[in-house]
Structure 1
Amino acid sequence: MQPVPIKTTVVGSMPFPGWLEHATQHLDQFGPADVNEMIEDAVITAIHDQTTAGLDVITDGEQTRFDFNLSFYGYIKGIENNDTELRKFGPPAHDQRGKHTITQPLTAPRGLGVVEEYQRLKRLAPADQHLKMSIPGPYTLSGRLLPGEFYKDRWEVTEALLPMVRKEIEDLVALGVEEICVDEPSMSCYAYREDTKRFVDIFNRTVAPGVGKTRLSMHLCFGNYKGRSVGRKSIAPMLPDFLDMTVDELHSEMTILNFSEVHLLERFAEKFDVAVGVIDVKSYYIETPDDVAERIRKCLPYVPANKLAVAPDCGMSQTARWATKQKLTNMVAGAKIIRQELGLV
């Protein structure tokens, strides 16, 4: 599915409404019915913000995920929060994120919850709206898990998680989901130092149930904890091996790179559709439609319009809602400027 040239979309997450942020800190004050109502209201809010902005493809905003990994760890048996933080003070950094210890072989008897998220989104979204669901890949999902005595290293933990993610993809495909985005930012963060061929093998085995049955996209970024990257900000180490990914669309940050490697997108466009980050989620500068149009012009010599999608660099969960709404609205307006210039509307 590529609804229009220069498709407008998001990675997955949207900011929580302020009331939801408050409620998550006081869940003991709410009953199950209250919580279910809040979840639905939050998803409706995320849908509203995306459709009002005019996005071609939307998600549920990941409103039920209180943390990128932690919400999934709640579905996985054999994990214990060791409540250890290396550092609790100073500027926010990735070493302030706690780790979890594996205490027994990992299983996910209830799945990972994405099926239920999709069913809710499908029920609440406009009937003619293009939808996609995002799910973290097993390598990224393993990042905050300490192997314990059951697994030798992160690679073995990844292999234990892989069947769980693959099964979730299989179940989503069976429900007819239109697009599945597999988030693997850890692969792009560490492509400069790890075995990229091994990354490709892991990814391709993970998405196997969706190949040829749904649109598969892959999100790559350099980390975004409190607006800070963690990886070396370059897509060059991903080449040429990442060209062997079994995927329909590959998403890369580009605004954070000041488009310095935009020429490398030509390599990706030879194999895939390319979603380019044209909105900086780590800045409160609100891009104008003309800013967005200029960034899209930088891409067009390397990615044909019919293969190009535009999106924020990363998920919007850590960007204020007021800024997110305006950034997305202007992104859509910028894409329309270029479509008009190219005679595509």
Structure 2
Amino acid sequence: MANNNCKAKAPFRYDIVGSFLRPAELKEKRAALAAGKITAAELTEAEDQAISALVAKEKELGLRAVTDGEFRRRYWHLDFLAGLDGVEEIKAEQWSVKFKGKQPKAATLQITDKVDFTHHPFIQHFRFLQSVAGDALVKFTIPSPAMLHLICCVRAEDYRPIDRYKDEGALYQDIALAYQKVIQALYNEGCRYLQLDDTSWGEFCDAEKRRAYEERGLDLDKIAVEYVKMINLALEAKPADMTITMHICRGNFRSTWFSSGGYEPVAETLFGSCKVDGFFLEYDSERSGGFEPLRFIQKQQVVLGLITSKSPELEEEEAVVARIHEAAKYVPLEQLCLSPQCGFSSTEEGNLLTEEQQWEKIKLIRRIAEKVWQDA
């Protein structure tokens, strides 16, 4: 039983990144829609049922904040970004980043007009999740503002700005102002816990990728500063009673990855200046480096992603406890929390473990957190 004096504000001592494995029947319904065998309304009904069951399971396991598992999405990022005004999803021959194994269905984005936020299906998605969450806090996840620029302007080797964005400062500002509207719209619907998912920082930590971008004439240090400024401008819309965190990932598709390297290249710029309330940081393997870059953390909470979502094997509890205390040499223990290193299904295909193994990971995180923190 959790302590009655549990941590009152998100992120929580045992928390989650967001996505969960799609149930087999939901995958079947999505395939049936693609084959023209059912209607979009029938798929929505199936999604509603699956999300309701997921929320019940999350609550059963004692999670303080629940998500919809991203069950309505194909990808963790493209579905949201393509719903912004002035942004279109387009086909691609291949992904601009290469996973160390199987590759997702290729798609990308292009900016065709002024980036803005007016009507977006994710508002209805949040509304439904809120309606079935009951007394649980809803955690909602969307890609970070940095992802739109990264995909369209950094990864894309053939980027040609529209006239409005020949001054790149105008693009950064429009993205930030669109996200201000996103934040306000979600807040008006009752959202008090929002997460910005971001793989740009994982790429910027990767020495091989840094060399490749430098050869193309891109200054990643300068871009990193602009990303933090853009995110901070978006965060100016955040009301005082809303928590906004950032999850940083090095890629997650079918238990594979695409970036490697510790946080040192971005730590001072990101941890020292970004005004999110907390960071969910991937730390489940040597690819994430050591805890030393955490010395730049200010007042943000740090959620240590020490439990992998990529494989079913359960981590040894005492080893994880030891790593938490190692991190506490750089960030006070009361600023630390625990979570999986990523979601379990960043795309609809999902990672290589079963739903039961997924839930055993969540139970493990809770057990460890309750050992370490009295307010877990």
TM-score range, shorter chain: 0.7 to 0.9
SS in 1 for 2:141: strand
2:180 equivalent among 163, 166, 175: 166
CA offsets 1:53-110 (integer angstroms, 9 cap, x no match): 322322221111121233124523555554332389994247x632344444445431
Stretches of structure 1 lacking an aligned partner (at least 5 in a row)? none
TM-score (norm 1): 0.85
Q: Deviations over 1:231-278 (max 9, x none)?
A: 33211112211111111111211112377412332431x431111102
- Quick one: distance in 2 between partners of 1:84 and 1:274? 36
For residue 279 of structure 2, what is the aligned residue in structure 1? 250
Q: Give the AA of the match of 2:25.
A: W
Corresponding residue of 2:195: 181
1:281 is matched with which residue?
A: 309
Residue identity matched to 2:187: V
Structure 1 residue identity aligned to 2:356: W
Q: 1:3 aligns with which of 8, 11, 31?
A: 8
In 2 relative to 1, CA 253–173 (structure 1 residues): closer, same or farther, beyond 3 Å? same
| Alignment partners' CA distance in 2, 1:89 and 1:182 | 22
* SS class of match (2:312): coil
Give, in angstroms, the shift of residue 136 of structure 1: 0.8
Read off the aligned partner of 1:47 and give its amino acid letter.
V
Contact 1:98–1:144 (CA under 8 A) maintained in structure 2: no
Q: Indicate the residue corresponding to 2:259 in structure 1.
A: 231
Say whether the 8 Å CA contact 2:86–2:112 is kept in structure 1.
yes
Cα 1:114/1:89, change in 2 over 3 Å: closer
The percentage of aligned residue pairs carrying the same residue is 22
Contact 1:292 1:335 in 2 (8 A): no
Structure 2 segments unaligned to the other structure (5+ residues): 1-5, 211-219
What pairs with 1:137-176 in structure 2 (closer than 5 Å)?
Answer: 137-145=144-152, 147-148=159-160, 150=162, 151=165, 159-176=173-190
Residue 134 of structure 1 and its aligned partner are, at CA, apart by: 1.3
2:127 counterpart SS class: helix
SS in 1 for 2:330: coil
After superposition, residues 276-315 of structure 1 pair within 5 angstroms as: 276-315=304-343
The 3 A distance-change label for structure 1 pair 294 and 126 is farther
Shift of 1:131: 2.4
- Verify the 8 A CA contact 1:43 1:61 in the aligned structure 2: yes
1:334 — aligned with what?
A: 368
1:289 offset after TM fit, Å?
4.2
In the alignment, residue 256 of structure 1 is paired with which amino acid? S
Query: How many residue pairs get matched?
Result: 338
Partner of 1:122: 130
Q: Aligned match of 2:30 in 24, 29, 50? A: 24
Structure 1 residue 186 displacement after superposition: 1.2
- Matched-pair contact (CA < 8 Å) for 2:263–2:289: no
2:118 to 95, 109, 125: 109
> What corresponds to 2:359 in structure 1?
325
Q: How big is the alpha-carbon RMSD for the aligned residues of Structure 1 and Structure 2?
A: 3.1
Partner of 1:67: 75
Q: Following the alignment from structure 2 to structure 1, what is the Cα–Cα distance between the partners of residues 287 and 252? A: 16
Contact 1:296 1:335 in 2 (8 A): no
Is the 1:187–1:199 Cα contact (8 Å) retained in structure 2?
A: no
Cα deviation for residue 183 of structure 1 reads: 1.5
